[in-house]
Structure 1
Amino acid sequence: MPRSTNQKLKLLCLCRLLWERTDEDHPMTVPELIQGLEEWDIKAERKSIYDDMEALRVFGLDVQNRKGKDPGWFLGERPFQLAELKLLVDAVQSSRFISQRKSGDLIEKLESLASRHQARQLQRQVYVDRRAKTMNESVYYTIDKLHSAIANHRSVSFKYFEYNVQKERVFRREGKRYDVSPAGLIWDNENYYLAGYDHRHREMRHYRVDKMAELAVTCLPVEGVAADFDIASYAQKHFGMFSGKEGLVSLRCDNRLVGVVLDRFGREVILVPDGEAHFTVTVQAVVSPQFLGWVFGLGAGVEIKAPNWAREMLRRQLEAVTEHYKEET
């Protein structure tokens, strides 16, 4: 049989046919594989197909040949199972920090990891209660730069902004740059945050990654970040990543709220029985409006016992909110 100019691509093309067109439910027979190769102007004989499949198997591909009913060759094990790809697609689709356009790009790449038949099962919509996607398209690349800075122990510089009612960016500090030594990234409440040492204020702070602009990794080494800095502990103390006054807070809770407390503070916290219907727990927390809102949301089931300044903060917040709902006389 005369050799075509593409004959050297034969094994690569067979690999692509198996990857894109076959799975356990969609095998390809030898005649179908020969026909598929002809699309690249590659000639093949039946016997050579068997030799090529053995070569691909030796190379490491899980090439299988099913006999009997619905016979044919197919690619068995892949880097990701279909169920795993579905999970990843759902996560990308429902993630707030990934823009709509970037979500589409990522899902298309995930589809390429499955056969074309399985890819159709990945083209689905996940209902996420009108979830808003980020308006900052560059966040995807900002996260990558931050990971690089953290790995190489380098400081970063960026501008930080908020949105006004016209959905326009308004830069803080009149557009002056923030210089920060990154300590770690936190994913909280479906947003990415950078925790790091602020060079200007000389203290640890955190910043929403999707509100950063013009991020640059500098040549300066990190400073102010303790070697034993615990990013997980930092994230746990900051409710919704809001800032506030930090301290040991003692809570008295109904027994029915044990699960709620463990979900919030972890299973390592110590629960001390307080009578038959209550328990107390002492946690290191940043007392912010978000923390106080969490306490208030649990109603009479939780009481801040100490410190007094935390009790006073809650009392003042309740009074401020009550003012909005006083009946007009």
Structure 2
Amino acid sequence: MIRKRLTSLIDCLSTYSSKEVPLSLEKIKLLLLQEYDLELSDKMIRTELDFLQSPESIYKLISKNNEENYRERVYCLENTTFQLHELRYLMDAVSSARFISQLETSQLIYKLRGLTDETTSKRLANELIHSEGKIVIRHFADNVQTLHEAIKAKKCVKFQYGRYNVEKNFILSREGGFYNVIPLGVIWYQEYYYLIAKEQGKEKIIQYRIDRMSSVLKTEDSWTSEPGFDLERYVSQLFNMYSGERRNIAIEFDNHLINVIIDRFGIDAKIKPVDDNRFLLETEGIVSDGLVRWLLTWGADAKAVSPEDLVERMKKEINRYSGIYT
């Protein structure tokens, strides 16, 4: 009975009290009777409150004078699990993730709001509005977990891979054949999960959208880390997740794009003025269609300087644009 008395009091305070809405002894007594079917005396409740304030308790009970009645004490438990802003971050991440279905989004947000008291939960009622539609992917969570487990165990994986066609049918590549790869890492980029991997027997690193995978399986083949390979550094050199050759690149930008470049390459990016209106960025990156299209985002405000093959690719893409609008 004593254990039930204490656990019910903890649950009562966790659910119905907060720093903004602490509970008086009479309110606690009423809630224990109504919600927990426990009829306790003031002395019994005070005994449990004293324990929660003792060094033996893992909970932190806050006790203070009631602002409306200074002679009365009020109580609440300090939320040591999640702060309001932390729960908001988690809820917003769930809401914005396209690979989490709308049904699962609602279920996860309901669970997250249940990790705090009622008052704080009500403050989390306004959900983030996501600008893009959710997608439903079978076995997506299982596939992500399989990949993480394979990376940790240094095991290879195999999977089928595909894309939608213009008829909105999902078509498997290689006529449904499996890709056998060495999984180097999983990243989350612009609302999508990607697997960074090498096909067995090949050197080129490729990025695979995990929502386009099916039948993901861990194999018994083992792999070892490549000496000197830095996954975080590699990912930082990608543009829109396109694969390509790692090269030294130089690009001129108009000065008004300086904050865009710092956001993308960091405050330590190698930058120097070209004239009063432009600056030069020198960095290492993956030369790919992704880089070309990223540069075209900025129109005439960005100009590729080197390497020469990047300049040529820019020219060809610009000519394609001009051909469309003639």
The normalised TM-score by structure 1 is 0.88
Amino acid at match of 2:265: F
Q: 1:11: Cα distance to partner?
A: 1.4
Amino acid at match of 1:53: L
Separation in structure 2 between the aligned mates of residue 54 and residue 228 of structure 1, nearest angstrom: 58
Q: What are the superposed Cα offsets for residues 207-244 of structure 1, whole Å, 9 maximum, x if unpaired?
A: 11111212222332224x41432222222222110223
Tell me the residue number matched to 2:49.
53
Q: Kindly tell me: are residues 55 and 156 of structure 1, through their superposed partners in 2, closer, same or farther at Cα, counting changes over 3 Å?
A: farther
Separation in structure 1 between the aligned mates of residue 173 and residue 156 of structure 2, nearest angstrom: 20
Separation in structure 2 between the aligned mates of residue 65 and residue 189 of structure 1, nearest angstrom: 45
Q: 1:24: Cα distance to partner?
A: 1.6
Tell me the residue number matched to 2:106.
104
Amino acid at match of 1:154: K
Gaps of 5+ in 2: none
Tell me the residue number matched to 1:19.
14
Tell me the residue number matched to 2:95.
93
Q: What are the superposed Cα offsets for residues 232-258 of structure 1, whole Å, 9 maximum, x if unpaired?
A: 222222211022344222212333332
Tell me the residue number matched to 1:152.
153
The normalised TM-score by structure 2 is 0.88
Tell me the residue number matched to 1:244.
244
Separation in structure 2 between the aligned mates of residue 137 and residue 317 of structure 1, nearest angstrom: 37
Task: After superposing the two structures, state which structure 1 stretch, 13-22 or 272-281, moved more.
Answer: 272-281
CA contact (8 A) 1:10 1:37 kept: no
Separation in structure 2 between the aligned mates of residue 163 and residue 111 of structure 1, nearest angstrom: 36
Gaps of 5+ in 1: 1-5
Q: What are the superposed Cα offsets for residues 59-113 of structure 1, whole Å, 9 maximum, x if unpaired?
A: 2112122323354221123311112212221221122232212211221111111
2:274 matches 1:274: yes
Separation in structure 2 between the aligned mates of residue 281 and residue 291 of structure 1, nearest angstrom: 14
Q: Kindly tell me: are residues 56 and 68 of structure 1, through their superposed partners in 2, closer, same or farther at Cα, counting changes over 3 Å?
A: closer
Within 5 A, what are the aligned runs for 1:140-179? 140-179=141-180
CA contact (8 A) 2:62 2:75 kept: yes
Tell me the residue number matched to 1:216.
217
Within 5 A, what are the aligned runs for 1:287-326? 287-326=287-326
Amino acid at match of 2:215: E
Separation in structure 1 between the aligned mates of residue 193 and residue 294 of structure 2, nearest angstrom: 21
How many residue pairs match? The answer is 319
Q: Kindly tell me: are residues 69 and 302 of structure 1, through their superposed partners in 2, closer, same or farther at Cα, counting changes over 3 Å?
A: closer
> Equivalent pairs: percent with the same residue?
27
Tell me the residue number matched to 1:30.
25
Q: 1:147: Cα distance to partner?
A: 2.2
Does the residue aligned with 1:89 lie in a helix, a strand or coil? helix
Q: How big is the alpha-carbon RMSD for the aligned residues of Structure 1 and Structure 2? A: 2.2
Q: 1:162: Cα distance to partner?
A: 1.3
Tell me the residue number matched to 2:263.
263
Q: What are the superposed Cα offsets for residues 5-59 of structure 1, whole Å, 9 maximum, x if unpaired?
A: x664221111111111111222222233233333434332211111112323432
Amino acid at match of 1:222: W
